[in-house]
Amino acid sequence: MSQQILNMYSKFGVSEPIFVGRLYGDGHTVEFEVRDPYHPSVDGVTDPVELLVIDSYNESYNQYTKEFVCKENVDGVLSKIKGDLCKIFEQYSSLKNPRQSKLSKWLRWYNGSAATDGMIALYRYAALHSSGGHHEFRFDGGKNNPHVKNIIAILEKMREKHEQ
């Protein structure tokens, strides 16, 4: 569990529990939909991790408290981060079959918490130096891009340190 990501969720609001009714199925069903659904704004947000958290925003209505509750998805966000780092490695590695490498396997199967802060920082670094848009990672110069080399080297160090 990452406290950084959890803290991001605490900044979000939730929808007001006001619903409008709509008839469906020729009058067999009434659906009550949120009148003004809340979704966190991406305006002014530059942190790529926060953008991931906003993408994964979800809430559920609690029938007993009659309020909406934000559903934190820390594992989902971390999974996306690991997935993107893995894709960067597999795309830019000089190995013939990077998917079979120890690093790729480690990234796909790692579910500990010791390396998460490091992965989050590395993700930010990758996003900062990528020429692609949000959630797209492209590095000019390909494998020879110095930032790509840095990312892969750091990932290898992390694997050596945290692999059981």
Partner 1 sequence: MGVFDDKKFEQLDWVTQMTETIESELNGLLARLPDRLEIDISALHSFVGDSRSLSLSVSSVVRFLIQPYRKEYSLSWDDERRVEKCFRFEMSDDLTLDMRSNTMTGWLHLVKVTPTLDDKELQDMMGRDGLEAIRRMNWNNIPISRMHEIMELLGGCEADMKNRSLRKKTNAIYYRLKNIFRNNEWRIRDTGLANKVGHWIVSYLQDGNLAAFTNFCKLKVMTHNNMPIYSVEEEVL
What is the DSSP code string of 83-107?
Answer: HHHHHHHHHH--SSSGGGSHHHHHH
Least CB distance to partner 1 at residue 37 (A): 8
Q: How many residues does the chain have?
A: 164
The answer to whether 55 and 41 are in contact (CB under 8 A) is no
In the chain, what is the straight-line distance between the N-terminal and C-terminal CA atoms, in Å?
19
Segment near partner 1 (CB under 8 A), from 1-9, 66-74, 126-134, 139-147? 66-74
Contact letters for partner 1, residues 109-138 (x by CB under 8 A): ------------------------------
- Binding to partner 1, residues 6-65 (CB under 8 A): 16-21, 23, 26-35, 59-64
67 to 86, contacts with partner 1 by CB under 8 A? 67-68
| Rama region for 66: left / alpha / beta (φ>0; ψ in -120 to 50; rest) | left
Binding residues for partner 1, rule: CB under 8 A, are: 16-21, 23, 26-35, 59-64, 66-68
